[in-house]
Amino acid sequence: MRIPTRLEPLVEDGLIDEVILQLMSGKEATVFVVRCGEEMRCAKVYKEVDKRSFRQSADYREGRKVRNSRQARAMEKGSRYGRKAREESWQSTEVDALYRLAAAGVCVPKPFNFLEGVLLMELVTGDDGNPAPRLNDVEFTAEQARAHHHTLMMQVVRMLCAGVVHGDLSAYNVLVGSAGPVVIDLPQAVDAAGNSHAGSMLERDVANVTTYLGRFAPELLTTAYGKEIWALYEQGDLHPEVELSGRFERTEKAVDLGSVVREIDDARAQDAMRRLRMQKTH
């Protein structure tokens, strides 16, 4: 096929030898199957900010690091430079997350290069050798659904152990590869420790996957893996080999009203003494 303009720099640099076909076009990027030497790979071309429908919510941007204070100020003001800097940060988040998660043993496409807003990465294939379908496009037996759900819960655990929450995980962002589910699309990934919304995002990620696979194995719909995983993380008990139960019971200690009243009385007494001292000094 004709080489898309955005892929020309990679062809000129010898990173891509041939563009085979357009695989998909989504809200944030267009993905092509390309040939690199003897290997088939994916080229993810990020759409320009004014040409895509996905908006960078402040919830996702919280806790993200920027290169310097000038860049941070520009991003807050929304200047042309700031918008460009924010876009670059958005794209590099996925690249950084892929390298980080691949090193942590998470099933994600292996990244190779990132140039001119194009991410070159592994092409995930199915049992037939063709590009793997999305989880959302496949029907499963109850046994298969349970197996894929278990695998994905452990991937969520591994991601969190690496300090990452996907933030937009669903049946649309998982490929069914020949070796099992592969997590994709990570530009909105958030830092678990640096984002106050990380816990709710993780629970939503888990709920999205569970809702889809629960169509084939309804018993999954009664589980609470999201709350269980986040609770273990907060307690410092989460590790890649943890055994999950899918159950979660919130333990709430009874409030000691006597202690609360005493603290209030002490605070009032201290305030009264402070006011008396101020009156004496005047």
Residues 239-270: b if buried by 16+ CB within 10 A, e if exposed: eeebebebeeeeeeeeeeeeeeeeeeeeeeee
Q: Round to whole Å and give the CA distance between 192 and 100.
A: 13
Instruction: Give the active site residue among 17, 96, 127, 185.
Output: 185
Helices (H) and strands (E) in the chain, counts: 8, 9
Instruction: Give the active site residue among 168, 191, 237, 265.
Output: 168
Read off φ and ψ for residue 265, nearest 5 degrees: -60, -40
174: β partners: 183
Burial of 148 (0-12, 13-18, 19+ CB in 10 A): buried
E-strand ranges in 170-229 read 174-177, 180-183, 190-191
CB 31 within 8 A of CB 22: yes
- Specify the long-range contacts of residues 250-255, CB closer than 8 Å, at least 24 apart: none
In the three-class reduction of DSSP (H, G, I as helix; E, B as strand; rest coil), residue 34 is classed as strand
Q: Is 168 a catalytic residue?
A: yes
Catalytic residue positions, numbered: 168, 185
